[in-house]
Amino acid sequence: MTASNNGFSVIGKPLPKPDAVSKVTGRAIYADDMLPARTLHCRILRSPHPHARILSIDTSAARRMAGVQAVITGADLPIKFGILPVTQDERALEHEKVRYVGDPIAAVAAVDEEIAAAACDAISVEYEVLEPVMTIDEALAESKDERIQDYGGPNNIHKLVALEFGDVEGGFASADHIREDVFFFQGNTHLPMEQHSAIATFIDGRVTLWSSTQVVHYVHRALSKVLELPMNRIRVIGAAHGGGFGGKTDPFAHEIIVCKLAMLTGRPVKCTLTREEVFYAHRGRHPVLMWVRTGVTKSGLITAMHFRSALDGGAYGSYGVASTFYTGALQTVTYDIPAYRFEGCRVFTNKPPCGPKRGHGTPQPRFALELHLEKIAHDLGIDPVDLKQRNFVKPMTRTVNWLRVTSCGLDECTEKVMTASGYRDREKRRGHGMGFAISSYLSGAGTAIYWNDMPHSEVQIKVDRGGVTAYCGAMDIGQGSDSVLAAIVAEELGIQAADVRLVTADTDTTPIDLGSYSSRVTFMAGNAAIEAARKMRALLVEAAAAKMGCAADAVAVGGARVGDFSFEEATILAEARFGTLTSAGSYTPPKIAGPFKGSGVGPSPAYSYSACVVDLDADPRTGLIHLNKVWIAHDVGRAINPLLVEGQVEGSVYMGLGEALMEEQEFRKGLHKWPSMLEYKSPTFLDMPEVETFIVETVDPEGPYGAKEAGQGPLLPVIPAVSAAVFDALGVWIDEVPVTPEKIVEALRRKEKGEPARFGPSRFPAIPYPACIQVEPPPRELDASAASI
């Protein structure tokens, strides 16, 4: 732990979370723990076919069953919704067409779960089965029966993107060496330990929903639309959260269904998904096929890059348009690429919809980019770490695609892991390898999901008779956003974090925060909290100064004292002077998006940076990998709570290793091959190596106390570092995630036969990308005083 305190009293301290004791004693209340009197249990009938038209639904037998209180179908909830305004393509229940095995069709509320399940079995649905579309290649071709969705195209293409920044052909013409590679990143899922759960009541004409969600505000909006109720008649509360990782960031069918059933029955209605249903809810990592072509000088400096991606999106839009842009957005944020062309494509397939998982759309291109540069370094006979370092972006610059880079700790992160791991002096023997990679991630998306000019996060503070309460819509999903709020308010008011009461993630009682996604909460809610707390501090100081008969700037705040008074005395003075003590702060990101269509995806007020070294042994006979150790350095700007930053970094390393080595979402004949925790392999205690974490603090100019994100970025470099280490160990490239023993053995076999020593996709398909939108690059040097472009 290398974080510093720098004169702060709370910021930088490794404090336990405010809810640590409730979590270790089993007292935290998750959505499924709630069981109000007369609760009805909901089960959902789901499609057994990957692609079919619904000809009829007969619920009469289910309705007649004793204990069944309500049965609903798509006719009861016909309004479409979706997380992005441009892809409102989902229904809570489908009554016309199903698009993947698991698509919801009907729902039952009954006095117990078994009756609800039996009633679902009693619903008869007549289908016209259609030919499923299961791969990117099939989606690009003409459909045998009909398209999955009625928008997008041609064929089952959902979205096409083509952007060009600067003189790409000129850049390639001036290159001394050009290389092309193709990579594939298999899809995988979040696998939160908590199954999604939601419970709703309908009392006094108002719907209240408690849910395991990352985004109370977006759920609130979707409920209002589909239930046709004004938002002021709906309350959404984030229950204690059992893990998200991006998997609970969409509004979900079961959330809408329990509200509708509560409205119909007048009783509380709860729905908790089975583990199998969680695999169908999905919204996980897109499978992405990638092609990249890069030109470099003799010394390895990049002159131009052309990157193509094809995303297998599953059956619905979800965040897919954003995911598509993200596969091309952040390449430029780590490496100085003077000319850049990006062509992206997302297709629909008859599988559970993909969406945002930790790193949203960027781990796949990061895997491709890092390995591609490794290969270029080998072509040129340059050490790959040297080649990458020569191309690192510099702080306070703008990238060719208009992204604003402020603080950047790439060099320091690299130095930390190089030194600690001994990478440059590593033991070179067959079977032993070390791999290095870097990455970057957003500290919150610079634009909201739906277009508006309102703040992205707001905090209110109430002080009354010595007690401080902070209100914020931010949802703590276990990452520690509550800790960040408490620490900031305490720091500014000169009290302890444990003295701050928190009210969060409740649309009735808290001001807005857009939610726990895109690593935005520390940066945005943190800045809002600073503003609110400083306003409150000013009131306390003014009241104390008046009593002391001195100027406000002579009043010291800290150690639970305000000037000559205890904190409690100061609050009484201030309340007497000003009346009710409240303050508010808000945060709106700077308008930094570039002047072109599609520029809304990629900008962030600040980027985190990471560097990673993986040390492993790979058995050339079996292909089995043994992880020896992982070193990771993460530029978090400033660690508001280094204990929680370490936790986020270690958790990211773990999840990256799972994706790199074993996790994959696979389908056979339209069916998920392994929708269970036993068969969907994820790392256990025995698979996880020791991790050495370095926190690097670059003190970002706009972050709260200089802080940036920590929850997603550190996942990204782990995956390419594993594959690079396998090459170091055995001399074969595994250009496909996950890196499994079978693929290693096959690559070694090919190498022995004199074929290319690799395992990976052989080709990138022909995709009808439109002509590129040509964008002039921005001025390269960033004027630090001008936040906006």
Partner 1 sequence: MAREVDRQVVVLEVNGERAQLLLPVHKTLLEVLREDMQLTGTKHGCELGECGTCTVLVDGKPELSCLVLPVQVEGRAITTIEGMAKGSELHPLQQAFAELGAAQCGYCTPGILLAAKSLLESGAPTRDEIREALAGNLCRCTGYSKILDAVELAAVRIKASSPLAGEVARSAGGDVKPA
Catalog residues that contact partner 1 under the rule CB under 8 A.
13-17, 19-30, 32-33, 35, 65-67, 110-112, 115, 190-195, 240-245, 274-275, 477-480, 496, 498, 643-644, 646-647, 650-655, 676-678, 682, 684-686, 688, 690-691
CB of 487 to partner 1, least distance (A): 13
Q: Which is nearer to partner 1, 245 or 340 (CB)?
A: 245
Q: Which is nearer to partner 1, 23 or 298 (CB)?
A: 23
Strands (E), 547-705: 557-558, 561-562, 565-566, 581-587, 607-618, 625-635, 667-668, 671-672, 690-696
Reference 510, options 448, 459, 453; nearest CA is 459
**Is the distance from CB of 511 to CB of 458 less than 8 angstroms?**
yes
Q: Which is nearer to partner 1, 414 or 516 (CB)?
A: 516
Reference 284, options 252, 319, 253; nearest CA is 319
The count of other CB atoms within 10 Å of the CB of residue 160 is 18
Amino acid at position 319, single letter: Y
Distances (CA, A) of 53 to 152, 254, 350, 676, 677: 19, 22, 13, 28, 31
Determine the Cα–Cα distance for residues 190 and 589; give it in Å rounded to an integer. Answer: 28
- Determine the 3-state secondary structure of 610 from DSSP: strand
Q: Which is nearer to partner 1, 13 or 159 (CB)?
A: 13
Determine the Cα–Cα distance for residues 441 and 147; give it in Å rounded to an integer. Answer: 35
CB of 231 to partner 1, least distance (A): 28
- Sheet containing strand 340-347, edge to edge, reads 736-737, 177-185, 288-296, 302-312, 340-347, 157-165, 773-775
Q: Which is nearer to partner 1, 620 or 689 (CB)?
A: 689
Q: Which is nearer to partner 1, 242 or 268 (CB)?
A: 242
**What does the H/E/C string look like for 150-215?**
CCCCCCCEEEEEEEEECCHHHHHHCCCEEEEEEEEECCCCCCCCCCCEEEEEEECCEEEEEECCCC
Collect all residues with Cβ–Cβ distance below 8 Å to 724 and sequence separation of at least 6. Answer: 370, 371, 374, 384, 433, 435, 436, 437, 614
- Determine the 3-state secondary structure of 38 from DSSP: coil
CB of 106 to partner 1, least distance (A): 19
Q: Which is nearer to partner 1, 446 or 656 (CB)?
A: 656
Q: Which is nearer to partner 1, 215 or 528 (CB)?
A: 215
CB of 25 to partner 1, least distance (A): 6
CB of 65 to partner 1, least distance (A): 8
Q: Which is nearer to partner 1, 32 or 700 (CB)?
A: 32
CB of 240 to partner 1, least distance (A): 7
Strand partners, 613: 436, 631
Q: Which is nearer to partner 1, 65 or 301 (CB)?
A: 65
Q: Which is nearer to partner 1, 652 or 698 (CB)?
A: 652
Determine the Cα–Cα distance for residues 244 and 358; give it in Å rounded to an integer. Answer: 9
Determine the Cα–Cα distance for residues 140 and 138; give it in Å rounded to an integer. Answer: 5
Distance from the Cα of residue 642 to its chain's centroid: 21
CB of 119 to partner 1, least distance (A): 10
Q: Which is nearer to partner 1, 281 or 644 (CB)?
A: 644
CB of 395 to partner 1, least distance (A): 29
Collect all residues with Cβ–Cβ distance below 8 Å to 202 and sequence separation of at least 6. Answer: 208, 259, 262, 263, 266
As a 3-state breakdown, the chain gives helix, strand, coil percent values, each rounded to 5, of 30, 25, 45
CB of 468 to partner 1, least distance (A): 16
CB of 618 to partner 1, least distance (A): 21
- Determine the 3-state secondary structure of 630 from DSSP: strand
Q: How many helices (H) and strands (E) would you count in the chain? A: 19, 34
Q: Which is nearer to partner 1, 332 or 479 (CB)?
A: 479
Q: Which is nearer to partner 1, 686 or 771 (CB)?
A: 686
Q: Which is nearer to partner 1, 76 or 113 (CB)?
A: 113
CB of 507 to partner 1, least distance (A): 21
CB of 716 to partner 1, least distance (A): 15
The string of DSSP codes covering 667-680 is EETTEES--STTTS
CB of 506 to partner 1, least distance (A): 19
Query: Helices 521-548 and 567-578 sit at what angle, rounded to 10 degrees?
Result: 80
User: If phi over 0 gives left and psi between -120 and 50 gives alpha, with beta otherwise, what is residue 505?
Assistant: left
Determine the Cα–Cα distance for residues 281 and 354; give it in Å rounded to an integer. Answer: 9
Q: Which is nearer to partner 1, 116 or 311 (CB)?
A: 116
CB of 713 to partner 1, least distance (A): 15
**Is the distance from CB of 287 to CB of 185 less than 8 angstroms?**
yes
Determine the Cα–Cα distance for residues 73 and 179; give it in Å rounded to an integer. Answer: 54
CB of 513 to partner 1, least distance (A): 18
Phi and psi (nearest 5°) for 116?
-60, -40
Q: DSSP label at 232?
A: G
CB of 279 to partner 1, least distance (A): 11
**β-pair type (302-312, 288-296):** antiparallel
Q: Which is nearer to partner 1, 279 or 335 (CB)?
A: 279
CB of 20 to partner 1, least distance (A): 4
Determine the Cα–Cα distance for residues 628 and 192; give it in Å rounded to an integer. Answer: 26
* Helix (H) or strand (E) run with residue 254 in it: helix 253-265
